[in-house]
């Protein structure tokens, strides 16, 4: 996700430059036809076009509100994962002990169990972020030329899930998880089974077991909410029609805008012959500005529809997961040399 100071007007203009060139070509062709071939009859009144423009503005506004709602909900879900993960980390460290065991367990064994539970949780977060980054047919924003030329790509595109989780879990757990279609669900099942085993050994008190199972339940809930956003796209009928409505308005706009500027030119022809004759050409910058605004607002909505796609404006789940991992492993007492660094920012963008 872009930091607050980065996405400037110049970057926005560069991001939309291909469409801006298209608008420029459209209006130059229309003004040239009007000026050189005297197509004064090719015009439409402002009233129907104003109605179309109002309707387009409403549907684009609706799309942007819906897209922002999806982004904000995704951010709240992953904020919940942050809080729940920290809670799980501290509960595991405090609740796995010899307080209720009939035969005390060696401290080294307890530390190993705590580390196993903590690392498996990191593996769950890693599996979940990989699942959220998996490509869906409706996720096409990242394929736009303006995005691919900046090489905006999340870490999940540079490493496989198998590579990322293998170091966090045992070989038996790894084989079990990789045999399942939903890897993150399999990891939570393993987590719950492990907690039950520790409860049966007396290493976890029964009340503490219920608390930890409640944490696992909350993780299932947060995972499901995140998967819901990922697997249910913004309704395509709205997204497709909004795009078509925007282009219909943009293509019809010259037929009303050019005659208006031509009339202004005629009204000042006696006082300023040169300016009056060529005043119609002032349509070009005004048309480009209006078309650019409508197109950019519509494109912003399309960009925000899928908050886990991995583009610059999405929820930075990779950074979130790595941040939680650093917190958990530091609290396990690991040194900075053992803990991986935070994913680097590229083009002032978090992933």
In a domain, 351, yes or no: no
Compute the distance between CA of residue 214 and CA of residue 268 in angstroms, rounded to an integer: 77
Q: Which two tokens stand for residue 103?
A: 């035969």
Q: What confidence score (pLDDT) does residue 146 get?
A: 65
Compute the distance between CA of residue 254 and CA of residue 249 in angstroms, rounded to an integer: 9
CA quadruple 110, 114, 116, 117: dihedral sign = positive
- Which residue range(s) make up the domain with 316? 9-331
DSSP letter for 235, please. P
31-41 burial code (b ≥16 CB/10 A, e <16): beebbeeeeee
Helix axes 283-303, 17-36, angle to 10 degrees: 150
In a domain, 279, yes or no: yes
Compute the distance between CA of residue 310 and CA of residue 144 in angstroms, rounded to an integer: 13
Compute the distance between CA of residue 260 and CA of residue 119 in angstroms, rounded to an integer: 68
- pLDDT tens track of the chain, all 351 residues? 544 444 566 667 777 888 899 999 999 999 999 988 877 777 888 888 999 999 999 999 998 999 999 999 999 999 999 999 999 999 999 999 988 888 888 999 999 999 999 999 999 999 999 999 998 888 877 676 666 677 778 889 889 999 999 999 999 999 999 999 999 999 999 999 999 999 999 999 999 999 999 999 999 999 999 999 999 988 877 778 888 999 999 999 999 999 999 999 888 888 888 888 889 999 999 999 999 999 989 888 888 888 998 887 889 999 999 999 999 999 999 999 999 999 988 777 788
Domains: count for the chain: 1
In a domain, 286, yes or no: yes
Compute the distance between CA of residue 158 and CA of residue 179 in angstroms, rounded to an integer: 22
Compute the distance between CA of residue 188 and CA of residue 21 in angstroms, rounded to an integer: 51
In a domain, 175, yes or no: yes
């Amino acid at each position: 996700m872009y930091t607050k100071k980065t996405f400037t007007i110049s970057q926005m203009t560069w991001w939309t430059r291909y469409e801006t060139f298209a608008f420029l070509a459209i209006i130059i062709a229309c003004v040239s036809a009007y000026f050189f071939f005297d197509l004064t009859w090719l015009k439409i009144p402002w009233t129907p076009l104003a109605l179309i423009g109002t309707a387009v503005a409403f549907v684009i506004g609706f799309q942007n509100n819906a897209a922002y709602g999806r982004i904000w909900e995704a951010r709240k879900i992953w904020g919940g994962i942050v809080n729940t993960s920290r809670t799980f980390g501290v509960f595991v460290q405090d609740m796995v002990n010899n307080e209720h065991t009939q035969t005390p367990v060696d401290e080294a064994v307890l530390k190993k169990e705590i580390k196993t539970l903590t690392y498996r949780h990191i593996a769950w977060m890693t599996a979940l972020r990989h699942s959220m980054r998996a490509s869906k047919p409706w996720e096409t924003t990242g394929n736009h030329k303006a995005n691919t030329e900046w090489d905006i790509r999340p870490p999940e595109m540079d490493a496989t899930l198998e590579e990322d989780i293998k170091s966090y879990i045992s070989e038996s757990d790894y084989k079990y998880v990789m045999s399942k279609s939903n890897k993150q669900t399999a990891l939570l099942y393993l987590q719950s089974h492990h907690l039950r085993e520790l409860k049966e050994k007396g290493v976890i008190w029964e009340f503490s077991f219920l608390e930890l199972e409640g944490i696992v339940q909350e993780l299932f809930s947060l995972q499901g909410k995140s998967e819901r956003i990922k697997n249910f796209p913004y309704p395509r009928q709205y997204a497709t029609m909004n795009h078509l409505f925007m282009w219909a308005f943009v293509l019809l706009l010259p037929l009303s805008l050019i005659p208006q500027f031509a009339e202004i030119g005629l009204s000042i022809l006696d006082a300023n012959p040169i300016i009056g004759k060529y005043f119609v050409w002032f349509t070009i910058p005004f048309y480009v500005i209006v078309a650019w605004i409508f197109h950019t607002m519509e494109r912003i909505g399309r960009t925000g529809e899928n908050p886990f796609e991995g583009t610059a404006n999405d929820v930075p789940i990779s950074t979130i997961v790595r941040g939680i991992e650093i917190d958990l492993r530091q609290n396990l007492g690991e040194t900075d040399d053992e803990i991986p660094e935070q994913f680097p920012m590229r083009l002032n963008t978090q992933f």
